Structure 1
Amino acid sequence: MRLTGRDEDALALVEAYAREQGMWFTPENEPVFSDRLELDMSKVVPSLAGPKRPQDRVALL
């Protein structure tokens, strides 16, 4: 956030919130993952979908 020009008050607020919620990364606390996803990249295609009707996705290729 510092690289996007946010002021120090905004940085402190976000850091305090993230720490309180347990979302702040520190090397001492490795994340624990409960699920694993496998993704077949050969089936991924670029596409667009609108916010009103995401089910009407349009493939770009």
Structure 2
Amino acid sequence: MPMRIIASECTACGECAALCPSDAIVEKRGYYSINAAACTECDGIAELPQCLEGCPVGEDCIVYT
């Protein structure tokens, strides 16, 4: 399942987008969102999704769908 960003919790820092090896995270209207079709949850790349690991808000902002 792809990750999802909760827009109301996103601080728009861009850390998640910079860390995403799939380039699945894009900025829209001042906040970031994850393209579900491109998100791999970093499977085979890292133990945990890199967006979640690097997000300063963490699990309050980036969640599993």
Q: Scaled by the length of structure 1, what TM-score is found?
A: 0.21
Q: Which one has a bigger Cα radius of gyration? A: 1
Bigger RCO (CA 8 Å, 6+ sep): 2
Which structure's residues are more often strand, by fraction? 2
Q: Scaled by the length of structure 2, what TM-score is found?
A: 0.20
Which structure's residues are more often helix, by fraction? 1
